[in-house]
């Protein structure tokens, strides 16, 4: 009997492959304006990542409107149109079951900004400058 992979090991290759297919399908539907919603029609929405559950029945799409404007309204619009988006994904991705869709705010941009601010902080600059000061003394 095959040993099941440990969930702490991260997503399987199949989960990653299906997640990428779902991401592309959602991006295509949104880009082509196939969802008749005024909020989605007036925003460019990026989908940097989709994560699939191990059974491939739930897809969590991390989304961010361009420029970070009207995040809540965009997420609400995606939720309102979830059924239609699920049908469109089912047509584009050949799976036994169409995954349920869940939309979350993508926080990687916030995390990158936080790390950037830390790297620019005086304390970090001082710590980074020390090795060159020591090299100059040799």
Residues 55 and 89 in one domain: yes
User: What residues does 49 pair with on adjacent strands?
Assistant: 62
Residue 102 within a domain: yes
Residues 90 and 128 in one domain: no
User: Any residues with CB less than 8 A from the CB of 99 and at least 6 apart, and which?
Assistant: 18, 22, 52, 53, 56, 57, 58, 59, 86, 89
Of these ranges, 5-9, 63-67, 86-90, 109-113, the one predicted with the greatest mean pLDDT is 86-90
The answer to whether the CB of 15 falls within 8 A of the CB of 92 is no
Percent of the chain with pLDDT over 70: 86
**pLDDT band of 134, cuts 50, 70, 90:** very low
Q: What is the pTM for the complete model shown?
A: 0.73
* Residue 104 parent element (H or E): strand 100-105
Residues 54 and 113 in one domain: no
Measured at the alpha carbon of residue 40, what is the angle toward residues 89 and 75, in degrees to the nearest 5?
80
SS3 84: helix
Residues 41-69, mean pLDDT to the nearest whole number? 92
Q: Domain of 86?
A: 10-106
Residues 37 and 73 in one domain: yes
Residue 46, token pair as written in the block: 């990026």
CATH number for 77: 3.30.300.20
């Amino acid at each position: 009997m095959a040993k099941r992979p440990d969930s702490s090991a991260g997503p399987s290759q199949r989960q990653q492959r299906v997640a990428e297919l779902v991401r592309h399908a959602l991006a295509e539907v949104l880009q082509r304006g196939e969802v008749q919603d005024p909020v989605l029609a007036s925003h460019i929405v990026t989908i940097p990542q989709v994560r699939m559950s191990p059974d491939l029945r739930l897809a969590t799409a991390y989304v961010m409107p361009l420029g970070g404007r009207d995040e809540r309204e965009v997420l609400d619009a995606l939720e309102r149109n979830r059924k239609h988006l699920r049908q469109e994904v089912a047509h584009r991705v050949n799976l036994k079951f169409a995954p349920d869709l869940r939309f979350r705010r993508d926080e990687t941009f916030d995390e990158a900004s936080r790390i950037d601010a830390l790297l620019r902080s005086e304390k970090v600059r001082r710590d980074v400058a020390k090795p060159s000061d020591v090299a100059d003394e040799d």
